[in-house]
Amino acid sequence: MLHFYRCQLPYEYDNATYNFPEINMTIPWDLKSKSWSSCARLDANFTTEYFNAGIPANSSVNCDKWVYDTTVYKSSAVTEFSLVCDNAHFRVMADSLFMVGALLGSIIFGDLSDRFGRRPIFFLSLVLQVVFGLLAAIAPEYYTFMACRLIIGSTTSGVFLVAYVIAMEMVGPSKRLYAGVVCQFFFTTGYILTAAFAYFIKDWRILQAALSAPGIIFLCYWWFVPESARWLITKGRGAEAKELLLKAAKENKVTIPEDILDNLLPQTEVANGDHPSQQEARKKNTTQKQSTLLDLFYYPNLRKKTLVILFSWFVNSGTYYGLSWNTSNLGGNDYINFVLSGAVEYPGYSFLLLTLNRWGRKAVLCGCMIVGGVALLLTSVVPSDMNWLIITLAMIGKMVITSSYGTVYVFSAEQFPTVVRNIGIGAASTSARIGGILAPYTLLLGDHWRPLPLLIYGALALVGGLLSLLLPETLNKKLPDTITEGELFGLRHQKDVEDVDGNMAEVIKNSDLNVNHEQK
């Protein structure tokens, strides 16, 4: 959001307008920006004699109040809290703090959803988001507003990421693509609708409330959204998982044979027919073997995959948000530019629907990141007078990075074992938020050399695309459920399995998975 503002002069009232005819006698010329200063005024007694003399003062002082151009924006947090001039850094901090909140939320809510279930944590996050969204709309001063923004940022992880994991765990391999990509379509639609809300609602406080209030409607999902059957199975709650699967089968007018259910739930009391004492022992054993984020770094194959995924999320997020915040280069109407920056995501996601199930996740992720990297790197050699070409290349970069960002969501959820899937996605989201936090500061480098931010994003995207070749393909593969399966997933040769470190080799040797493999 670009604001135009100037000093409020000593003789002006609070309802003064932005434009006035005596600018050359009241405002100094800023040589750096090559425009009239927005942060200083001439140091003079603005009397009738002064204006009649027609000689501007030769010294200036900093502003203590400002007058804003309300032609486009009636009000905003920037204008109300005077986040301009010496306080302008707070604007960057506002974006960064929101992303810090998203970072914290990805850690906290990711872990909570793995411990207590996807469904309750989703609704807890939704309630917090609505409450603090409405509180932000009535915040009396800047620090209260930013505290609310921080919490709202954290709840976005709890709402979107947990909902995404629920969607991925509800469907089979052939439908994962549609579940994952459709989630992204709704994200983009919400992005574009924000411009529509802002166009019709000019007051920022009413706009904040209008964007927060619809969350109340989604509380009715409590009666429609079930718990994840996969999560229930990993927690040894087979009876609940079986009931949920049978209910889903009835809704879809299909029948699941009992033997198939028994194969799906081998470790539960339902499939094994355990006595109550055995069930209690299994639950106790499950609790003792609670998997954590450290398991993803303890074993070599999981560690390699996890590090590549974390870097991919960092690059995709930083580049995505950096390009989104860079749309002011388009010029023209701010609302149209905002809509265009969102609309370009539709072909990016549509591309995924056409290719992910044909070409595979790895090829699409690698190809999109490399194409995006090359497009952004080319902006550094485009002549400065061909601004339209720089914008075109940047938008191509945004489109393909949108595709790779959508792919990395699907690809990552399929790489992590079920027992740590939400923790893994939470960690990946943490890495993404770090990229988002750094994005506005990276854009500041453009003050020294305009192509530099795009050059940095391009180089990172190119490296990320090449590293993604290290990840195993997941198309039409069974998702790993345990840490053992996660470590074995992607090891192509027996030698790879033998190279696994001693601890994991012992686990594999004694695991039911290895026994079943030998029996086959």
Q: What backbone phi and psi angles, to 5 degrees, belong to 66?
A: -135, 155
Domains, the chain? 5-71 (no CATH), 89-225 (1.20.1250.20), 293-489 (1.20.1250.20)
The answer to whether the Cα torsion of 250, 251, 253, 257 is positive or negative is: negative
Rama region for 2: left / alpha / beta (φ>0; ψ in -120 to 50; rest): beta
Contacts of 73 (CB under 8 A, 6+ apart): 1, 3, 79, 202, 204
Per run of 10 residues, the mean pLDDT along the chain (length 520 residues) is: 76 77 80 79 84 84 86 82 81 82 81 81 89 92 89 85 76 71 82 88 90 88 80 76 78 75 57 45 51 81 91 94 77 75 88 86 93 92 81 88 88 85 82 88 74 90 94 84 84 54 47 40
Using the structure block, give the residue that is written with the tokens 């919490």. 151
Q: Nearest CA to 179 among 34, 13, 58, 356? A: 356
**Alpha-carbon span 27 to 36, nearest angstrom:** 6
The SS3 call for residue 401 is: helix
Annotate 205-236 with b (16+ C-beta within 10 A) or e (fewer): bebbbbbbeebeebeeeeeebbbbbbbbbbbb
Q: Angle at which helices 118-137 and 142-156 pack, to 10 degrees?
A: 160
Q: Point out which residues pair with 40 in neighbouring strands.
A: 62
pLDDT of amino acid 106: 75
Annotate 276-290 with b (16+ C-beta within 10 A) or e (fewer): eeebeebeeeeeeee
**Alpha-carbon span 430 to 314, nearest angstrom:** 8
pLDDT of amino acid 114: 78
The alpha-helical segments, DSSP class H, found in 117-237 are 118-137, 142-156, 162-170, 176-200, 204-212, 229-234
Biggest CA-to-CA distance, the chain: 102
pLDDT of amino acid 310: 94
Exposed/middle/buried for 74, CB within 10 Å: 0-12, 13-18, 19+?
Answer: middle
Rama region for 473: left / alpha / beta (φ>0; ψ in -120 to 50; rest): beta
pLDDT of amino acid 494: 44
**Alpha-carbon span 451 to 431, nearest angstrom:** 25
**Alpha-carbon span 365 to 388, nearest angstrom:** 27
Q: Angle at which helices 162-170 and 387-415 pack, to 10 degrees?
A: 60
Inter-CA distances, 409 with 361, 412, 414, Å: 10, 5, 9
